[in-house]
Amino acid sequence: MVVFLGLLDIHATILLLALALSVKIPVVVLAATILLLFAKACISITDIGALQDIAVIIILLVSIFTAVPAAFLCIAAVIIGIKGLSSLAA
């Protein structure tokens, strides 16, 4: 179970980096990722990992409607990527 959650974080990292590089991502993929991250955040809403997931959800939602600065996306990708790699190592 933890490996799947870590893979979801890695997927969000790849999406954030793709958005930083101005790659067009279908809205359906973004919406599915947002829903899965929201479900994952609801599993354990009291820890810092859920707050990071909610921050990524907000970033992805904003990126649907407007351009988010690439540096901001890269910083968020590094943070969520480290969390995903640590989940894979567990």
Lookup result for tokens 């893979």: 7
Q: What is the pLDDT of residue 60?
A: 92
Looking at beta carbons, which pairs linking 49-58 to residues 24 or more positions away fall under 8 Å?
Answer: 49/83, 52/79, 52/80, 52/83, 53/9, 53/80, 56/12, 56/16, 56/80
Looking at per-residue pLDDT, the higher value among 44 and 76 belongs to 76
* pTM, full prediction: 0.89
Which range marks the domain in which residue 73 is found? 2-89
Q: Structurally, how many domains does the chain consist of?
A: 1
DSSP symbol at 23: -
Q: What is the pLDDT of residue 19?
A: 92
Is it the case that residue 1 has pLDDT exceeding 80? Answer: no
In the chain, the percentage of residues whose pLDDT exceeds 70 is 100
Tens of pLDDT, residue by residue over 11-49, are: 999 999 999 999 999 999 999 999 999 998 898 777 888
